[in-house]
Structure 1
Amino acid sequence: MEGEEVKRRRKESGDSHVNRLDDGCLMHIFSFLSPIPDRYNTALVCHRWCYLTCHPRLWLRVEKPTKSLTEPGVYPSLEAAISAARPGDTILIAGGGNHSASNIQIKKPLCLIGGGDLPDDTVLTCSRGSDSALEFLSTCKVANLTVRAELGCCLLHRRGRLTIERCILQCEENPLDYLSFPIMSTASSRSEALPPLLKGQQHGDCVTVSRTRIEGGAKAVWTGGNLVLQQVRAIYTRTAIFFWFKVGMQ
């Protein structure tokens, strides 16, 4: 009877087993959740869980400059967030507007995720005269984002394993669209020209694309190294075509 009474009191006070854990332990548990949608939904449970799931130890955020940026882990631009991020961090880019992204190099493993409900809620715009919006020199993931390039490419893959999931890649239509490619990869299996610390990493170089809409450009994918297009699948809808494919070593 005493045990039932204790359970009843705990239930009435909302003192569940998980809520008796300290903040560090809870944050460690939350770190295993996927940022979208699991960690995002977890933030809706209560104020404490919202604070822990939005902590900069779990992910960094890019907000518009018009908003208050006094919170730790919040940055006014994607470039600033990438510079401050540690290897393995997740960066949540606020939806509802355009963010500038021109020739941003990413040399550490990161995950970039759009914070909107749909990919076109969060837009990265690459200005004319830039080679690419984002240049990847490490294993990274890009999800739930729209990337637009006026001239050049949306995503430039140098090395590492790049995953593109549920995105929209757009190259503007213009007379020079033969110079535009939504995805470019220059990765090669030849490692003799690489510094010693990078040798042996090229075997894992690849680009994996899923549920992604690709528009404009001379070709959807251009490869200048030893990687080739494979495992192509497309689903046609009334308004768009969504692609699944991989660019890797045969």
Structure 2
Amino acid sequence: MAKRLRAAALPWGESLGSPANGLDDGCLMHIFSFLSPIPDRYNTALVCHRWRFLACHPRLWLRVERPLRNVTEPGVYANLEAAVSAARPGDTILIAAGGNYVASNIQIKKPLCIIGSGVLPDDTVLTCSRGSENALELLSTCKIANLTIRAELGCCLLHRSGKLTIEECLLQCEQNPMDYLSFPIISTAIEYDAFSPLKEQGHGVTVVRTRIEGGAKAVRTNGTLSLQRVRAIYARRSVFFWFEVGEK
């Protein structure tokens, strides 16, 4: 009887038989930081109240939601640009599904992971309005996943430096653009600078299970980069690509 009462008194729905619950919050949060944000870290939030609190803590990822349900909740922002500005290197930004968000010339100069929280990429849409050169300009090692990015004119992703991974996304450009204006992906990474911290990690783009629609070309490269290990599957209205952009 006493044992049952002790178990009922434990906070956050902890179980006496769970060794993991003997760890303090800081240790558990550190372990969660090594998990892939989706689905692994997301699934940890379903275990119990305590794990949900830790797995959703703004130290592990920031959230973009519109409209904001709670303006006082830490780590939640109304737009992607504000979340990028507040993020620290290595943070994950989770964009809520069911919304169409504006993303125009947003510069990302630190390593970040930006993920759509929907079941499919179509559930979360970033739109680059006409008159903007790009939706996202990436100057550091980043990952973009499970998002639809639309560019009315210009490019979806402008890769300047670092290693960019694009996974399970939909990139949409004008169907009949002027050749020099519209590209889903543009990579302009330059040759290594002897004093650059990127010298060891290099530059490159990896595209995995991504659908590309419209644009003059799927990808345009400059500098020392070239397409490598290209695979494509042609569908009725789109082409699914697997490829890498790396040093020649």
Q: Is the pair's TM-score, using the shorter chain for normalization, greater than 0.5? A: yes
CA distance in 2, matches of 1:18, 1:199: 38
**Alignment partner for residue 204 of structure 2, among 200, 203, 206?**
206
Specify whether residues 109 and 200 from structure 1 end up closer, same or farther in structure 2 by C-alpha distance, changes over 3 A only.
closer
1:176 Cα deviation (Å)?
A: 3.1
Structural mapping, 1:38-77, within 5 Å: 38-77=40-79
Q: How far off its partner does 1:70 sit? A: 1.8
Deviation at 1:189, TM superposition (A): 1.3
Q: Which amino acid aligns with 1:59?
A: W
How much has 1:248 moved relative to structure 2?
Answer: 0.8
How is 1:35-114 mapped onto 2 (pairs within 5 angstroms)? 35-114=37-116
Distance 1:77 1:25, change over 3 A: same
Whether 1:137 aligns to 2:135 is no
Aligned 8 A contact 1:178 1:217 in 2:
no
State the Cα deviation string for residues 132-159 of structure 1 (Å, max 9, x = none).
0000001101011110000000000001
CA RMSD of aligned residues (A): 2.3
Write the distance in 2 (CA, Å) between the matches of 1:201 and 1:191: 7
Name stretches of at least 5 consecutive residues in structure 1 with no aligned partner: 1-5
What does the per-residue CA deviation read over 1:214-246, in whole Å, with 9 as the maximum and x for residues that have no partner?
110000000121101110012345664311000
> Is the CA contact (8 Å cut-off) linking 1:126 and 1:149 kept in structure 2?
yes
Question: What letter matches 2:100 in structure 1?
Answer: N
Aligned partner letter, 2:48: C
Structure-to-structure mapping, 1:1-250, within 5 angstroms: 14-15=15-16, 16-176=18-178, 178-191=180-193, 196=195, 198=196, 201=199, 204-237=202-235, 240-250=238-248
Conserved in 2, the CA contact under 8 Å of 1:89 and 1:109?
yes
Q: Is the 8 A contact 1:160 1:201 kept in 2?
A: no
The CA deviation string for residues 16-75 of structure 1, in whole angstroms up to 9 with x for no partner, is 211122211111111111100011111111111111000011101101134223211111
Answer yes or no: is the 8 Å Cα contact 2:142–2:164 preserved in 1. Answer: yes
What letter is aligned with 2:54?
A: L
2:237 and 2:44 map into 1 onto residues whose CA distance is: 33
Counterpart CA distance in 2 for 1:225 and 1:93 is 32
The alignment partner of 1:204 has SS state of: coil
Q: Give the letter aligned to residue 215 of structure 1.
A: E
Task: Report how far residue 203 of structure 1 moved.
Answer: 6.2
| Deviation for aligned residue 1:201 | 2.4
* CA deviation after TM superposition for structure 1 residue 202, in Å: 7.5
Q: Could you say if the C-alpha distance between residues 182 and 175 of structure 1 is closer, same or farther in structure 2, counting changes exceeding 3 Å?
A: closer
- Mapped partners of 2:27, 2:198: distance in 1: 36
Structure 1 stretch 108-117 or stretch 61-70: which is displaced more? 61-70
Q: Which runs of 5+ in 2 are unaligned?
A: 8-13
Aligned equivalents of 1:203, 1:49: Cα separation in 2? 34
8 A Cα contact 2:107 2:139, kept in partner: yes
Task: Spell out, residue by residue over 1:202-221, the C-alpha distance to the aligned partner (whole angstroms, 9 max, x if none).
Answer: 86100010100011000000
The two structures have a TM-score, normalised by structure 1, of 0.89
Q: Distance in 2 between matches of 1:199 and 1:60?
A: 26
